[in-house]
Chains A and B, each alone.
Chain A
Amino acid sequence: MEKRELICISCPMGCPLTVELEGQEIVNITGYTCKRGEVYGRKEVTNPTRIVTSTVKVEGGKSDMVSVKTREDIPKDKISECVKALKGITVKAPVRIGDVILSNVAGTGVDIVATKEV
């Protein structure tokens, strides 16, 4: 049996998790404080994903930049493609929290949305 030590990153508590694997099969997960930890542990060993945050330029707003994020997690190996896709984008003010800045980023099916009002 294989044991994988992970740190849950679903929230800043950072609980230490232990995932026990029998081949590809997850047989046990321990160490989480809440349900999200179990879900994370399961996913991290099978299909790791992350929320990606960045900024894009804004024209005519109260700031020059607006912060953005992927609305949901995207696969870890798509992160740099996602950030590249945001380079060179300029949006026009007004921008509201939740406005779609770029849809289906890097073919992940996930949208990039604004996280600040500008």
Chain B
Amino acid sequence: MKEYDIVIIGGGPAGLAAAIAARDNGSESILILERDKELGGILNQCIHNGFGLHTFKEELTGPEYAARFTEQVEKYKIEYVLNTMVIEISPEKVVTAMNREEGLFDIQAKAIILAMGCRERSRGALNIPGYRPAGIFSAGTAQRLVNMEGFMPGREVVILGSGDIGLIMARRLTLEGAKVKVVAEIMPYSGGLKRNIVQCLDDYGIPLKLSHTVIEIRGKERLEGITLAAVDDRGKPIAGTEEEYSCDTLLLSVGLIPENELSGAMGVVMNPVTSGPIVNESLETNVEGVFACGNVLHVHDLVDFVSEEAAAAGKNASNYVKNGEQKPNGREIILEGTDGVRYTVPSTINPERMEATQIVRFRVGNVYKNCYIGVYFNDERVLHRKRMVMAPGEMEEIKLEKEKLLLHPDIDRITIRVEEA
């Protein structure tokens, strides 16, 4: 059986950044396994600009951002194999993969980095009886068709869900000559980034209908039209608000979900809120030597933060291989989101093992204006930061300092909350 110190599952931005950081930290034996025909992950189909301002201080398109990392991987001569699907990982860190040339094969790893990204939530979201005529696509599938294959899914389009992919596709299809009639969102706020609403809808006069959903689909062979209705605060359609739209295409942009079948099957414990693994400050899962980063850990909107998080996972995996598991004295502090904070990554933090500063990322469950982020060490508030706006579509972060944590040896719980002014 082939052996590697670090095996990385997935060659998207997370896998690439993790590999580079592990090499920078001195690891030589690294292998990336990617099921697609090229490295770069979802970035290959995201041809729009807006990637990398935080990292590179310029605004790149998805493929350009990916190229920065693939070039580095090539330069470092980090090994990778394409067209290779990982189908199983054992708790003993034997990775089983499959490709055309070698068939089924096993690789023994000392450390594993999970970087499989996420997939789109499916049609199940379309909770209506009746036919499913041709012309209904997930927004990501449509993005792939248009951007990679040059194929237009239709001429008259309605988009259900205001996730970023749907917004980006509203603009793309409009520019390609289609008529995007409306974007309907069942929630009272958009799930996408503000900038995408401005740039993709407002710029082109495409209406965004919040608290609206599709209640009827017309057409047998090919989609002919849909009916929208307003919903009440429990998501139930309100009679009398129905509006009919004719359209040949319906795109579903109802969110992303981390792709964790492999992780679950090997015994990695999941956080039900994120559908990603529960990790400690090293981004290590409950299975020793197995780390997670990027969209498989929690769905990110900004690739810069994916790269940053993945670099930390790569470095930690590399240190794990060099030094073995560091079992520090002292307690693991539990990190918790309450009062509007839905989750935190990581879920626990060990003050002795942590680096000088630790980034904690989280999302809020609603739109909050003129509020504060409160951070509590047990019951004592140690941070009170003003925020103009917070929305579920945008990831938030705070930094914790090792020095401060060491000064409070009695803390066993850190809580992050949204506090109204």
B contact residues around A67 at 8 Å (CB): 47, 61-63, 147
A contact residues around B334 at 8 Å (CB): none
Q: Which of B193-201, B266-274, B282-290, B413-421 contacts A (4 or more CB under 8 A)?
A: B193-201
Which B-chain residue is minimally distant from A76 (CB atoms)? B203
Which A-chain residue is minimally distant from B194 (CB atoms)? A14
**B191 CB to nearest chain A CB (Å):** 14
A61 close to B (CB within 8 Å): no
Which B-chain residue is minimally distant from A36 (CB atoms)? B53
**B166 CB to nearest chain A CB (Å):** 16
Which A-chain residue is minimally distant from B305 (CB atoms)? A12
**Bound state CA distance, A72 and B157, in angstroms?**
30
The size class of the interface chain A forms with chain B is 20 to 34
Q: In the complex, how many residues of chain B place their beta carbon closer than 8 angstroms to a beta carbon of chain A?
A: 34
Q: Which of A21-29, A51-59, A104-112 contacts B (4 or more CB under 8 A)?
A: A51-59
**Bound state CA distance, A24 and B290, in angstroms?**
59
Interface 0/1 of B34-76, CB less than 8 Å to A: 0000100000100111100110000111111001000000000
A contact residues around B394 at 8 Å (CB): 14
**B209 CB to nearest chain A CB (Å):** 19
B302 close to A (CB within 8 Å): yes
> Contact between B63 and A12 (Cβ–Cβ < 8 Å)?
no
B388 close to A (CB within 8 Å): yes
B contact residues around A53 at 8 Å (CB): 47-49, 61
B233 close to A (CB within 8 Å): no
A contact residues around B146 at 8 Å (CB): 55
Interface 0/1 of A60-102, CB less than 8 Å to B: 0011110111000000100110010000000000000100000
> Contact between A69 and B61 (Cβ–Cβ < 8 Å)?
yes
> Contact between B147 and A65 (Cβ–Cβ < 8 Å)?
yes
**Bound state CA distance, A110 and B228, in angstroms?**
42
**Bound state CA distance, A80 and B64, in angstroms?**
23
B367 close to A (CB within 8 Å): no
**Bound state CA distance, A50 and B204, in angstroms?**
13
> Contact between A115 and B59 (Cβ–Cβ < 8 Å)?
no
Q: List 21 A-B contacts (CB under 8 A).
A: A10-B53, A11-B59, A12-B301, A14-B193, A14-B195, A16-B388, A53-B49, A55-B146, A62-B38, A64-B150, A65-B147, A65-B149, A67-B61, A69-B47, A69-B61, A80-B175, A83-B175, A115-B61, A116-B63, A116-B64, A117-B67
